[in-house]
Structure formats: structure tokens, C-alpha cells
Structure 1
Amino acid sequence: MTLKYIFDRLMAFFGLLALWPVLLVVAILIKVKMPGGPVIFKQKRVGRNGRLFTMYKFRSMTVGHGGSSVSVAGESRITPLGAKLRHYKLDELPELWNVLIGDMSFVGPRPDVPGYADRLTSNDRRVLELRPGITGPASLKYRDEEALLAGQKDPQRFNDEVIFPDKVKINLYYLNHYSFIKDIQMIFCTVLGRNMKYNNEII
């Protein structure tokens, strides 16, 4: 995956250069519309080979909200501005820095909090061989995950028993059938909001 590594570093560098005005505008909006808290949300996530790293995102929730690690569309801790940032994936732009410094990749499994990574057993732990990504096949399949969870009687249980195992299966397939061309296709599908065929299903 040498080509993938080089592509990630270069595109993250040029992406930050090109998007700095957008990053600045979003930061100002957060300061104005969501005062009393930091612009950047920082959280420890599990990276490649199980190593913890600090992931950076624009803050989209109220300060000191507490609650579940599973986000559901419409919940009160997500601010109106935060909902828009999450809808258009603008909250994830600071992750370009994570890609630049090598903690993340553009395409790969979304980085989990430590508790979820601890649930990986046996062959499933091979997922940790991958750098976590800003997007990926599981992210595309579950791009409306928050809305899907909002329709469940027990969102946490549905995530743990249905979504999480399916994401692991998808990410293992990605590991075993890696394609740089598919990576590029996934990036375009993420940016343009389109679907693609992957492993005999539409994601």
C-alpha cells in the first residue's frame, strides 16, 4: 500500500492548503453560534495496530453533554449548526491533519473508541492492520447511520448487534481485496454523495 500512503500525505497537504478558507469560516461560525466551548473536538481513537491517537473534528455538540458514544439524528446534544456540519461532513475536515501526520488515511475503517476495538476477536482483529479512514466502504454503506439509529427502539443495541458486526465484515473485505482504484472511487462517491457497487452490494 505504498501508493496509498504517498497519495494520502500529498492529498492531505494540498487539501489543507486549498481548504483553509473553509476551515476558517467554519471555525468562526462555531465560535459565534456555539460559544462557550472549543472549536475543535479532540478524542482518543484506536488507530493502526491498536495504537491510540488523538482525532480532530469540528465540534458539533453542546459542551459537557455526556451521553452515549452512539449519535442519533435529532438528539438535543447536537446543535443546529452541528447538524448541518455533520450532514455535509464538514465537521470531519480537521481530520486532514490526522491524514497528513500519518494517523489516518483517506479511505479505511472509521476509527473506533477503545471500547469497541476491544470487542474485536480472532480474525476480526486484522481490521486493526489498516489505518483508519475519513471515509470507506462501511462509511458509504452507513452514510445515513444517525437517521437509521433514530428509527430504532434501542439505538445502542442495534448499533452493537447489527451495524458494528456488519462494518467489521465490510472492513475485512476491504483489507483482503484492497484496490487503489476503488479507493479513488470511494473518495469521489463520498464528496459527490453518490453510490457505488462494492462486494456485490450498493453502498
Structure 2
Amino acid sequence: MPFAISPVVLEGIGVRLEPLCTNHAAELYAIGQEQDDWQYMPRGAFESLEDTHQWIEAAQQLAATGEHISFTIIDTHSNRVAGSSRYLSIRPAHKGLEIGYTWLGREFQRSHVNTAAKLCLLSQAFDTLKALRVELKCDSRNERSQAAITRLGATREGVFRKHMIVRNDFVRDSVYFSIIDSEWPHIKRRLRQQLDAQ
């Protein structure tokens, strides 16, 4: 089967991931204005509804070229937009990709949403696309994200030193994690058990 990624709706335990579109702009703007939530992201919080539209349109342009596939995360318990995540660094020849650019509104942090959304994205990658490897990375200063990625069951592979120049010209080190296909069945069972227990 070809490693062909396209925008799809992903249904999970307490979440639904829909292809990112401008219909989500108002709700994303409403939950995406806290600067602290964007501290380690490539950009800052949304400054206006127009700014949110521009962010969505930029993501859609990356989707059109196959570079990124972006999703809006919806909490199905409340039927509210909870945040966003995406596939990036898509490498069809090597059956690999990265999950990243994940952010959640304040109300949805430390809830079932991140684990459930990652389970959806990982299931699509490994079970449908037959990926061999899924990467996750974060700013080395972001200890909370490192802990969250570790809780998923990903293996910490190392640090890319002076990897990226981010906001305010800060030269960031990136911590890389991965999950590979042989690990996925065990990780999938454990994540489902975690979500069922919540």
C-alpha cells in the first residue's frame, strides 16, 4: 500500500480530529489567546480572528503541497474545539513522519484530549499507513512536553543541539523521541487502557 497521507476525519476515545479549516477559526481563536500556552511554539498566541484565519490558510497551503496535514481536535464530550495537531516531516519513501505542532486550549490541558488525539494520529500512521517510524520532538526547555511524550511510550533518542532558531532569535535544542512499528501494538494497548480508566 502506498504511503499516501490525505486529510481525513479520525474518530477516537472522546475526541474527533477533523481536517483544519476556516470553519474552526472562531473557536480556535477563543482558546488560543494565552501566550503561556505558545511559549515553546514556532509562533505566538493568536492576536485576532484575522491572525487565526491566516494561520489556518498557511497550514492549508502546506497541506496542498503534502508537507503537513493539520487537524482540529474536537472534544466529543463537550463537542467543543480543544486545539490542533498535525503530521509533518512526511517521508513516504521511508514510511515515516512526525507528529507535532500540538497545542490545546487551557481548559483541555491535563485531560484525556492529548492522549486520545495522539492515539488517533498514531493509529492512522501505523495501522492504516503502515508507518515504520513516528517521530515527536520538543524544545529542550519544555519539560512538560517531554514528560507527556514519555507517557505516550515514546523512546527518547537524543538532543539535536542548536537545532532551530525560534521566536526572539533563541537558538533552541530539540529533544527527539520516536515510536517504531514493532513497539506500536504494546503502546496502543496501554494508551487504550489509560483512556478507558479515565
What's the TM-score once normalised by structure 2's chain length? 0.29
What's the TM-score once normalised by structure 1's chain length? 0.28
User: If each structure's helix is expressed as a fraction of its own residues, which one has the higher value?
Assistant: 1
User: If each structure's strand is expressed as a fraction of its own residues, which one has the higher value?
Assistant: 2
